[in-house]
Amino acid sequence: MLAENKYQGLINAATVAGVANLQVREEEGVLFIDGEAPSGAVKDMLWAEYDKIDPNFLTGDLVMNINVASAAPVTSAKVTTESSNLNIRKGPGTDQAIIGKAAHDEIVTVISQSSDQWWLIRTKDGEEGYAYAQYLTPEA
């Protein structure tokens, strides 16, 4: 349980923040944390906590599968890429795995504006992750 010890602060933060259905398991040296955050701000906070423990998420010994509750407050934005699809990533950074795509001109749900560069979004198909904010235009 070395990975669990390493990420105990992250697990504690998830518990204190009210992550529902929190499940932690370790398989072959990789820690999996699953659950449902009550808001986008909580998910953003967990990624920030993860970044403190493993700067730039480089070790690859954690998989955080935390989605935001569908009842959390949200807004909409339009994907404004030149013509290509917008990558949706597991976490806030280009080093994070691409977990989906949003089509050019698609309207997505903005769960939180994590930073000036990365927004947490959800597509109409329910894919949730971080997208580069430069390619998102808030809907009026």
Domain with 126 in it: 75-138
Residue whose pair of structure tokens reads 């934005």 in the numeric block: 77
Q: Are residues 100 and 58 in the same domain?
A: no
Spatial separation of the C-alpha atoms in residues 101 and 131, rounded to whole Å: 9
CATH of the domain at 118: 2.30.30.40
pTM summary value: 0.78
Is pLDDT of 68 > 70? Answer: yes
- The reply to whether 37 and 80 lie within a common domain is no
For residues 79 and 41, membership in a common domain is answered with no
Using the 3D structure, point to which of 68, 102, 124 is the last residue of a domain: 68
To which H or E segment does residue 87 belong? strand 86-89
Predicted local distance difference test score (pLDDT) of residue 8: 94
In this structure, are 57 and 80 located in the same domain?
no
Mean pLDDT of 46-51: 93
> Do both 64 and 79 map to the same domain?
no
Pair 54, 84 in one domain: no
> What value does the CA radius of gyration of the chain take, rounded to a whole number of Å?
15
- Name the pLDDT band for 1 (thresholds 50, 70, 90): low
Number of domains forming the structure of the chain: 2
Looking only at the bridges linking them, the beta strands covering 62-68 and 128-132 are unpaired
Q: Are residues 56 and 87 in the same domain?
A: no
Domain identity same for 64 and 85: no
Q: What is the pLDDT of residues 94-131, one digit of tens each?
A: 989 999 999 999 999 999 987 889 999 999 888 899 99
CATH number of the domain encompassing residue 42: 3.30.70
Ramachandran region of residue 23, left (φ > 0), alpha (ψ -120 to 50) or beta?
Answer: beta
Q: How far is CA 135 from CA 69, 104, 125, in A?
A: 24, 9, 19
